[in-house]
Amino acid sequence: MDPHVRPIVVISRCIDFDSCRYNGQVIRASLREHLEPLVELRAICPELEIGLGVPRDPVKVVRGGGAPRLIQPSTGRDLTTAMNAFAERFLDSLDAVDGFILKSRSPSCAIRDHEGGPGLFAARVLDRFPGVPIEDEVRLGDERLRRSFLQRTFIRAASRSR
């Protein structure tokens, strides 16, 4: 086992990386400065990846009457198929991943708190990676939870390197 293996963590690009949110903002959470020396961060914005620009009209998850749908209310566009296809392609492309940090309250990336459930991209992450640590930037503001998240990612990375 290599004690110097850095965990690979996929992170929402709008968290401390880029002004890619629907309103052009970047979320300042200080996670990047804390984590970058310790882990390999791979930033991703699912909404940009399916062709939405910045700024953009907001999207929302519509639940009820079947599978959740990702809709852009101002245009009536249904982005569900595009988001699901991107999620599958991206998640299939990951050779290894030891953790995810996704944007809370996002219609794409929320892991538990967007209008009664996860965002569309996050739902695929949760389904495909049940044993991998998955958190959001709000919860990782708690030092105890951040420490636990890092411990779990380092354990996964160490076991991967055996």
Degrees to nearest 5, angle at CA 21 with 39 and 115: 95
Tell me how far the alpha carbon of residue 155 is from its chain's centroid. 20
Instruction: Give the separation between CA 151 and CA 7, rounded to whole angstroms.
Output: 10
Q: Tell me the pairing of strands 40-44 and 8-12.
A: parallel
Average pLDDT, the chain: 92
3-state helix, strand, coil in the chain (%, to 5): 35, 20, 50
Mean pLDDT of 80-105: 96
The amino acid that residue 37 corresponds to is: P
Mean pLDDT of 78-100: 97
How much is the pLDDT for 115?
Answer: 72
When pLDDT is cut at 50, 70 and 90, the band that residue 66 belongs to is confident
When pLDDT is cut at 50, 70 and 90, the band that residue 114 belongs to is low
When pLDDT is cut at 50, 70 and 90, the band that residue 3 belongs to is low
When pLDDT is cut at 50, 70 and 90, the band that residue 1 belongs to is very low
Tell me the percentage of the chain whose pLDDT exceeds 70. 97
Instruction: Give the separation between CA 53 and CA 87, rounded to whole angstroms.
Output: 18
Mean pLDDT of 14-26: 89
> For the whole model, what pTM was predicted?
0.93
Nearest to 87 by CA among 79, 99, 96: 79
Provide the sign of the torsion angle of the four alpha carbons 21, 136, 111, 99, taken in this order. Answer: positive
Q: Ramachandran region of residue 52, left (φ > 0), alpha (ψ -120 to 50) or beta? A: beta
Classified as helix, coil or strand, 72 is strand
Tell me the percentage of the chain whose pLDDT exceeds 90. 75
